[in-house]
Amino acid sequence: MCFNETNGRISKLMSMIKALPINLSNLQKTVLQQIVRGTTNPYRLVRRAKLILAAASGESNSSISRRLELDRVQVRQWRSRWFEEREKLSAAEEQQVTEKALMVLIKGILSDRPRPGTTKSFTVRTSSPDCSDRL
């Protein structure tokens, strides 16, 4: 892709967009750190937890994307998803959910959303008793 005036403007606009602020409670931070340290957690989950911890510490999207080898769009997306769920997290903590329940909630937030496409289906094919349709 060539750099031209239009690309320059888009690039400038992208850099001017303020990153959404991420504020973590002590419990949320503890749970995210447990995810990062967990030896059996999926790599994607660990990387997303690291992303949120970095965002909460004030690190820029560009810096996070370089360090975690992610596209800035992905960093912005996960920061945005966390930001959207902040009220749900706060409500759970106000209800004094257990650390385990908060872990489940956070893992749900950091997991992939269902993607569009056809649903997987399995149909049973019935054959005639003489099995004449088989080769």
Average pLDDT over residues 69-80: 92
Please check whether residue 35 is in contact with residue 45, taking contact to mean a CB–CB distance below 8 angstroms: yes
More confident residue, 109 or 7: 109
Q: How far apart are CA 96 and CA 91, in angstroms?
A: 9
The answer, yes or no, to whether residue 130 has pLDDT greater than 70, is no
Tens digits of residue pLDDT in 76-96:
999 999 999 989 998 998 999
CA nearest neighbour of 74 among 93, 84, 61: 61
pLDDT of the residue at 4: 47
Q: How far apart are CA 85 and CA 132, in angstroms?
A: 57
Amino acid at 79: R
Q: How confident is the model at residue 124 (pLDDT cuts 50, 70, 90)?
A: confident
CA nearest neighbour of 15 among 55, 61, 83: 61
More confident residue, 120 or 66: 66
Reduced to 3 states (helix: H, G, I; strand: E, B; else coil), residue 70 is coil
pTM score, two decimals? 0.71
pLDDT of the residue at 48: 95
